[in-house]
Structure 1
Amino acid sequence: MNLSVNLQMRQSQSLVMTPQLLQSIRLLQFQHTELQAFLEREAEGNPLIELEPDAGGTGGPDAGEAFAPSPLADAPLADPLSADPLPLTGVSDDAAVFAEAAERTGDGEDRASPDFPFSGEGLVVSQGGFEDDGTDRLREAPRSLRDHALGEIAEIIRDVSERALAEALFCDLTDAGYLSEGLDDRIGELGLAREAAEALLARIQAEAEPAGLFARDLAECLAIQLKRLGRFDPVIACVLAHLPLLARRDFAALAKLTGESEAEIADMLREIRALDPRPGSGLADNEATPVTPDIVVREDASGAGWQAELNPAAFPRLRVHAPASLAPAARLRAGEDGFLNTCQQSAQWLQRSLEQRARTILNVAGEIVRRQDGFFAKGVAGLKPMTLMDIAEALGLHESTVSRVTSGKFMATPRGTLEMKFFFTVAIAASGGGEAHSAESVKLRIGQLIGAETADSVLSDDDIAARLKGEGVELARRTVAKYREALGLPSSVQRRRERNARRAAAE
């Protein structure tokens, strides 16, 4: 074996993910709150960066001015995954990305996070002027479901020993408000008689709010609520004991079990539907947060179409200071000038990345609005099939870039505030070879067909597929069944039973 060492020269191309490129990609996928938090951290570490006072959407006195593009607005749209890093030369320290504010439509303003003016409450007077003691901004932290359960137990059970026992047995609830598994094991570990545990649980169930909390299953949850309403009797108890039959609308079988008529069983079904099967869902830990739309869609001045505009409330603005504004060059110590130059380059790159992010979001939103103009005029029925690749090819972007732009971004439209992902739907072929249909519009049509049924004309899935084919929508029966189940609609057999029971009750 002959071993030797030699030198070879090779030429190759590769995509290098520079820190600047990674930062551009991260900025693109950030939601409004994530972007605001990121910029605040950058401002803390870079003395040349300053977030403008109304960054984050307080609007300002000039709210209502139209969006003014930056000096780079005419530059070609750059894809972070395919473009080279932008040069840092020629960027003005005062480059403006957005104007003070953009005019909002009534629909967009109603659904955006409200901008409350500062009222001055919570201020205390000191010798130096006003100080904010922060008490007006303090609020109670959201209570968890476990905390609520402990509070209900403490309110109902006054005896200290019984309360400790109840907390050990019943304080752990599922998200729906039911007792968690393992109750029998906990009773055995505590050496408690089952009769005593059942009696203690019955006391809590009878008084806990909301009604149905601390139930062991769905039937018991519904029974607790009916008892509070004074509507629990042996007949409805029998119905609750056979919930699978009720779910199948098998009124004939329930009528035989209870001795009641099918019409009376249908009345019980309507009464049970009015109950809450998940009493603990409103007490979950997750707190609803307001959504700030990134894009506002409004009808253009001519009334012939729709246009997308950036919502300045969702786009924080930066101000980059020159190093000389902090300290004259003559006063800088060794190494400080290099640090400030690095900070200036970083700040200018960040400012330019924000401009590119805004342009990309606006262009993607504009293309979506152009393609989905039927939705804004007709609603879901006018929604057209569209994929991420369609937008990417139209704008010359990578598909993953469009995915990052549309994830977690919202559009305020005359038909509500919707996530941009909403407008991307599967295409369903037309029976006559015409234009394809959107899956969402087909679901809507299925719901309309079922909603228009009568007791004598209940449509099966095959009937619905035939109706849709007559309207130009090619859809298989199993796909109709899948869409019907996604809408939460029962089968034709169950619907027929329920409608027959209603007709008997009306007679």
Structure 2
Amino acid sequence: MAMMPRMELRQGQSLVMTPQLLQAIKLLQLSHLELQSFVEGELERNPLLERDDVTEGPLRANGGDGPLAVDAETFARSESLNSQEGMENRLGTGLDNVFQGEQPSVARLDTRGADSLPIIGGAYGGSGGSFEEGPDGFESGLTVEASLHDHLSGQLDLAVTDPADRIIGRHLIDAVDDSGYLGEPVAEMAERLGITVARIEGVLSIVQGFDPSGVAARDVCECLSIQLRDRNRFDPAMQTLVANLHLVAKRDFAALKRICGVDDEDIADMVAEIRRLDPKPGRGFGGATAETVVPDVFIRSAPDGSWLVDLNPDTLPRVLINQTYHARVSRAARSDEDKAFIAECLQTANWLTRSLEQRARTILKVASEIVRQQDGFFAHGVEHLRPLNLKTVADAIGMHESTVSRVTSNKYLICSRGVFEMKYFFSAAIAATGYGEAHSAEAVRFRIKQMIDDETPADVLSDDAIVARLKAGGIDIARRTVAKYRESLRIPSSMERRREKVAMAMGSR
């Protein structure tokens, strides 16, 4: 057969991931802080975009509007007000028909001013007053938390006068981590500085005498030993106890009594003394600032027993396209390059606004379906959490599992029971005995914790005993699964719990 070039016409289908589609997928899995950072970057790059500063209320799944709640306590207090709301704010039995025809699920917005919204704590909380009090404004009342490094450096300047020792002390302080421990071996530091280990040890002993007690220790044993010396409690028996902390962790008090040569009362006092110490002396100083979790969705009960699902407007950055400015610069554009730039900016702006709206709709859909599937949890608590997977939610709302997975990543909802990550409501199924309904793994884990919390020193449950009780309650579970759940809850074994309860009982006497 002769080989020759020829032209053929073929027809086929393929999915092309445009840059806009890739960005829209990326927006779904961003947290609200990451989303705000992304939108801020777009506002700086695109002259046609501007921030929408109009204060609006929460975005509700069924198009209703209502007061904005901000924490679990406020939700609980607001339950008494729900009876005054209209019966049109209903999500219960009509939830299946909420999203027909892909109409915007955020049909109506709460247009009341910011004064009508409750403000709890944070930057706007406090004991009263206004931002205009005093000549310097509220900034004058702000303080900067001292870091551990600065705290130790100030003490070094007072305690050490020799310039060489001060340099060594600076290096030691720089090697102290946020927990207060020395993060670099002394031998490596001595080699790096070109001095003897003994010289480093001499300055280290000075630094270890600084406040907070136990700082610059190389391990937890040295940290506790320093604190015990400061309290004049580091006798030979306590030295032996600190050297055998692994037995304290195992609660093997019989072995500790034998090694330390003390009786029951003394070992109980010594262990109590150890527990009063601080194993992380540096944590009281300026480490990383703790970020407060801001919920993306509000869940409230309605007067008819159904649930109201609102999006938090504070987590939804809103942008507008300045059409007036676009028309003016379009008329003024002369070169093809300028016209292409303006057209690209308009296209990007339109895409961003549509993507943000679609992201809000998708979050609302997924949250509403989670509430519908897990209504028992919101009404009665963790014990009524049902098994749920991504496919169930995806099939119910007509989306792909990967989309649901992206939506639930780094997203939180708040209800009267607290703040929960959306992924918390997806749990594996534990089979029931007989023909009963399967149980959620999270609900089973909660029941195991309840059983252990209700233990007495005379009746400490083994894993086999927990299995027997769960099977009596209709849960078919293996012993290894109970052990895995117990370890995930950081609960020690029955033997260690029995030792601890006996020791606590002895100490109370």
TM-score normalized by the length of structure 1? 0.81
Residue in structure 1 matching 2:445, options 443, 453, 467: 443
Q: 1:307 maps to which residue?
A: 308
Q: Which has the higher helix share?
A: 2
Q: 1:319 maps to which residue?
A: 320
Is the 1:122–1:136 contact (alpha carbons within 8 Å) kept by the matching residues of 2? Answer: no
The separation in 1 between residues aligned to 2:57 and 2:193, in whole angstroms, is 56
Residue in structure 2 matching 1:391, options 382, 387, 393: 393
Secondary structure of the equivalent of 1:327?
helix
Q: 1:161 maps to which residue?
A: 164
Secondary structure of the equivalent of 2:309?
strand
* Counterpart code for 1:415: R
Q: 1:49 maps to which residue?
A: 49
Q: 1:425 maps to which residue?
A: 427
Structure 1 residues 240 and 330: CA distance shift in structure 2, 3 A: closer
TM-superposed deviation, 1:156: 3.8
Counterparts of residues 9-408 of structure 1 (less than 5 Å): 9-54=9-54, 64=67, 75-76=101-102, 99-100=110-111, 110=120, 114=124, 119-120=131-132, 136=139, 149-187=152-190, 196-209=199-212, 211-283=213-285, 285-302=287-304, 304-323=305-324, 326-327=327-328, 332-335=333-336, 339-408=341-410
* Counterpart code for 1:318: V
* Counterpart code for 1:498: E
Counterparts of residues 484-499 of structure 1 (less than 5 Å): 484-499=486-501
Structure 1 residues 97 and 354: CA distance shift in structure 2, 3 A: farther
Residue in structure 1 matching 2:477, options 442, 458, 475: 475
* Counterpart code for 2:37: A
Is the 1:297–1:413 contact (alpha carbons within 8 Å) kept by the matching residues of 2? Answer: yes
Structure 1 residues 2 and 16: CA distance shift in structure 2, 3 A: same
Secondary structure of the equivalent of 1:478?
helix
Secondary structure of the equivalent of 2:281?
coil
Structure 1 residues 505 and 284: CA distance shift in structure 2, 3 A: closer
Residue range with higher mean Cα deviation, 328-337 or 15-24: 328-337
The count of aligned residue pairs is 473
Secondary structure of the equivalent of 1:153?
helix
The separation in 2 between residues aligned to 1:349 and 1:194, in whole angstroms, is 63
Secondary structure of the equivalent of 2:457?
coil
Structure 1 residues 5 and 391: CA distance shift in structure 2, 3 A: same
Residue range with higher mean Cα deviation, 211-220 or 314-323: 314-323
The sequence identity of aligned pairs, in percent, is: 44
Say whether residues 1:413 and 2:415 are aligned partners. Answer: yes
* Counterpart code for 1:207: F
The separation in 1 between residues aligned to 2:247 and 2:26, in whole angstroms, is 52
Structure 1 residues 138 and 35: CA distance shift in structure 2, 3 A: farther
Secondary structure of the equivalent of 1:280?
helix
* Counterpart code for 1:245: L
Residue in structure 2 matching 1:454, options 453, 456, 463: 456
Is the 1:57–1:313 contact (alpha carbons within 8 Å) kept by the matching residues of 2? Answer: no
Is the 1:56–1:314 contact (alpha carbons within 8 Å) kept by the matching residues of 2? Answer: no
Runs of at least 5 residues in structure 2 that lack an aligned partner in the other structure: 60-64, 69-84, 90-97
The separation in 2 between residues aligned to 1:366 and 1:137, in whole angstroms, is 44
TM-superposed deviation, 1:148: 5.3
TM-superposed deviation, 1:146: 5.0
* Counterpart code for 1:24: A
The separation in 2 between residues aligned to 1:409 and 1:436, in whole angstroms, is 27
The separation in 2 between residues aligned to 1:38 and 1:216, in whole angstroms, is 42
Residue range with higher mean Cα deviation, 225-234 or 23-32: 225-234
The separation in 1 between residues aligned to 2:160 and 2:43, in whole angstroms, is 53
Is the 1:48–1:344 contact (alpha carbons within 8 Å) kept by the matching residues of 2? Answer: yes
Is the 1:55–1:316 contact (alpha carbons within 8 Å) kept by the matching residues of 2? Answer: no
Q: 2:75 maps to which residue?
A: none
1:413-470 Cα deviation digits (max 9, x unpaired): 2122222122222222222332222222222222221222222211111111111111
1:366-390 Cα deviation digits (max 9, x unpaired): 1111222222233322322222222
The separation in 1 between residues aligned to 2:135 and 2:319, in whole angstroms, is 29
CA RMSD, 1 decimal: 3.9
Is the 1:383–1:423 contact (alpha carbons within 8 Å) kept by the matching residues of 2? Answer: yes
TM-superposed deviation, 1:112: 7.9
The separation in 2 between residues aligned to 1:55 and 1:229, in whole angstroms, is 57
Is the 1:64–1:102 contact (alpha carbons within 8 Å) kept by the matching residues of 2? Answer: no
Structure 1 residues 187 and 334: CA distance shift in structure 2, 3 A: closer
Runs of at least 5 residues in structure 1 that lack an aligned partner in the other structure: 79-94, 125-133
TM-superposed deviation, 1:398: 0.9
TM-superposed deviation, 1:22: 1.8
TM-superposed deviation, 1:257: 1.7
The separation in 2 between residues aligned to 1:434 and 1:319, in whole angstroms, is 53
The separation in 2 between residues aligned to 1:451 and 1:96, in whole angstroms, is 47
Structure 1 residues 30 and 122: CA distance shift in structure 2, 3 A: farther
The separation in 2 between residues aligned to 1:348 and 1:447, in whole angstroms, is 51
Structure 1 residues 21 and 139: CA distance shift in structure 2, 3 A: farther
The separation in 2 between residues aligned to 1:313 and 1:20, in whole angstroms, is 25
Is the 2:172–2:204 contact (alpha carbons within 8 Å) kept by the matching residues of 1? Answer: no
* Counterpart code for 1:206: G
The separation in 1 between residues aligned to 2:363 and 2:158, in whole angstroms, is 52
Q: 1:85 maps to which residue?
A: none
Structure 1 residues 288 and 499: CA distance shift in structure 2, 3 A: closer
Is the 1:98–1:312 contact (alpha carbons within 8 Å) kept by the matching residues of 2? Answer: no
Secondary structure of the equivalent of 1:180?
coil
Secondary structure of the equivalent of 2:164?
helix
TM-superposed deviation, 1:363: 0.9
The separation in 2 between residues aligned to 1:154 and 1:488, in whole angstroms, is 43
TM-superposed deviation, 1:110: 4.3
The separation in 1 between residues aligned to 2:227 and 2:395, in whole angstroms, is 56
The separation in 1 between residues aligned to 2:461 and 2:113, in whole angstroms, is 50
Is the 1:238–1:257 contact (alpha carbons within 8 Å) kept by the matching residues of 2? Answer: yes
The separation in 1 between residues aligned to 2:113 and 2:400, in whole angstroms, is 29
The separation in 2 between residues aligned to 1:339 and 1:445, in whole angstroms, is 61
